[in-house]
Structure 1
Amino acid sequence: MNGRISVLSARYTAAVFTVHRPPPEVPLVLKLHSDPAAYAGETLAYALLADTAPVARLYAEGEKSLSLLLEYLPEPADWTLSAMPAVLAERVAAVHTASLRLPTEATDALAGFTLSALHGAPAPAWITNPAAYTEVLAAHLDAYGTELVPLGHLDLKPQHLRRRPDGEVVLLDVESVRPDVTGLIDLITLPAVLRQAGHELSPARVLGLYLDATAALGARWTAGTLKNALHAYAAATGLESLHGLNG
């Protein structure tokens, strides 16, 4: 590929460059991994989310070079807008429910990660209370049905919401998304992210935004069942705080 290359970031596990192609084409991001597991995790995340959730576009990936070619989005989201908390909740909910909108071939490949499959499998090693984890999965089964793959663990921070030239707000950096942790960890993170972005919302308001966003995408949560799921998740993982969302 022809074009000037600029370094955006360099970490132990990955380096990110901007590839400036000649006009009228836009710059792209070239991301190089040094860890095959991290590369595999990110490519899986994009395979799950590329056509089903508002994330940066993946244009190409190279297995041998552990590289990805991504959409370059230098414009940050405008956090001064009063609608931004709802926008963030909608974007997060879209990721959490992405597996409900996958094509048949993808759902077949992920059959081992559906709620029905996880419900009958041993709890992951990072779970400290398997009985409570079973309650978490049961709550998700009630809310989504058996075929959901419980995606979660977004690297949420204000700067990871970017704006396309047409104004659409999308999420960056989905490499940490996993098909087994559920989206509750992201819900628990939302109050802190919004506070960092200048939006001090009550826990009840944050919970309401998430309930509305997931309901629009097919979930059947209620405030009571979601709070119970959060209690169970804290017990299952050893979390000490839910930032008031369970109140």
Structure 2
Amino acid sequence: MQALGRIRPAGWLATPMPTDPAALLVRARQALTADHPGVNGRVRLVSARYTAAVFAVHRPEGSLVLKLHADPAAYAGETLAYELLTDTAPVARLYAEGEESLSLLMEHLSEPADWTRAEMPALLAESVAAVHTASPRLPDHAAEAMAGFSLAALLDGPAPAWIADPAAYGDVLAAHLDAYGPTLVPLGHLDLKPEHLRRRADGEVVLLDVESVRPDVTGLIDLVTLPAVLRQAGHELSPDRVRGLYLDATAARGARWTADSLKATLRTYAAATGLESLHGLDQ
């Protein structure tokens, strides 16, 4: 998996998040005052790392999630992801963003998905497929803004710097063009974990943490990740079954994959990225 990400040296971020919880709470209060006036309540630190911190804002009318970024690029990327997906895929809702504080104000979803349900593997595959196929459902203004990241545009441009085999990556994009058409923006690279599926009060299952969604790479790594995520959640499915769930979910959203074309594209994707294992999904 290391081939899919660049390893950054220690200290790469000039202004990392504080490590002191009290300082983090001060930062959260400052963000609410600066960029989210009128949002008041008890603020609780949920998690903190070098690049970002997450807080729950508890209010009588309903809790919210406040996320602060230390890296402007990460903030911009996550904001873009939620703006693209909030109305087109089952993800947590983004309510507001704050450029001054690099903050996002989002839906609070405290109820975990019920992984004991037999239909959960299919629901996960459908959620992933909804992200991968989100761009045809974008409003016109967003589709126009993202046209430079369409398959047609990417095929004419250079491969990302981290790609091990640019020619193979071109073949991956060509296979996606056959499956989806030239206007698809290939959103992908979700941070998939069992705990990142939550349930709304009406029972809808949604994805949390879509900060890694990128409009310049395909989402095949999400498919490769599915068997491990399902295993962690207590669902041991064969590679054939996992692939079948993804084929069904993407076909329902207009894709023209076949089992053979998807398996061949997965193998090409591994060659393009240096990925060492496809967990049997290409067999």
Give TM-score scaled by structure 1 length.
Answer: 0.98
Does 2:65 match 1:29?
Answer: yes
Give the structure 2 partner of residue 184 of structure 1: 220
Return the index of the structure with the highest Cα Rg: 2
Q: Distance in 1 between matches of 2:148 and 2:268?
A: 23
Letter of the structure 2 residue corresponding to residue 181 of structure 1: V
Letter of the structure 2 residue corresponding to residue 121 of structure 1: G
**Where does structure 2 lack aligned partners over 5 or more consecutive residues?**
1-38
Deviation at 1:160, TM superposition (A): 0.2
Q: How does 1:4-15 map to 2 (within 5 A)?
A: 4-15=42-53
Deviations 1:45-73 (Å, cap 9, x if unpaired)?
01110110000000100011100000000
Deviation at 1:2, TM superposition (A): 1.9
Deviation at 1:187, TM superposition (A): 0.2
**Where does structure 1 lack aligned partners over 5 or more consecutive residues?**
none
Deviation at 1:183, TM superposition (A): 1.0
Letter of the structure 2 residue corresponding to residue 2 of structure 1: N
Give the structure 1 partner of residue 98 of structure 2: 62
Deviation at 1:166, TM superposition (A): 0.8
Q: Distance in 2 between matches of 1:180 and 1:190?
A: 21
Q: How does 1:38-187 map to 2 (within 5 A)?
A: 38-187=74-223
Give the structure 2 partner of residue 225 of structure 1: 261
Deviations 1:70-100 (Å, cap 9, x if unpaired)?
0000110000000000000000000000011
Q: Distance in 1 between matches of 2:52 and 2:160?
A: 27
Give TM-score scaled by structure 2 length.
Answer: 0.86
Deviation at 1:111, TM superposition (A): 1.0
Deviation at 1:21, TM superposition (A): 1.1
Deviation larger for 213-222 or 1-10: 1-10
Q: Distance in 1 between matches of 2:45 and 2:57?
A: 9
Say which SS state the counterpart of residue 65 (structure 2) adopts: strand
For residue 209 of structure 1, the aligned residue among 237, 240, 245 is: 245
Q: Distance in 1 between matches of 2:96 and 2:182?
A: 32
Percent identical pairs in the alignment equals 79
Q: Distance in 1 between matches of 2:204 and 2:145?
A: 30
Say which SS state the counterpart of residue 242 (structure 1) adopts: coil
Say which SS state the counterpart of residue 135 (structure 2) adopts: helix
Q: Distance in 2 between matches of 1:182 and 1:123?
A: 12
Q: Distance in 1 between matches of 2:215 and 2:264?
A: 21
Q: Distance in 1 between matches of 2:222 and 2:141?
A: 27
Q: Distance in 1 between matches of 2:259 and 2:265?
A: 10
Deviations 1:86-121 (Å, cap 9, x if unpaired)?
000000000000011001111111111000000111
Deviation at 1:181, TM superposition (A): 1.7
Q: How many residues align?
A: 245
Q: Distance in 1 between matches of 2:209 and 2:104?
A: 12
- Aligned-residue Cα RMSD (Å) equals 0.6
Say which SS state the counterpart of residue 162 (structure 1) adopts: strand
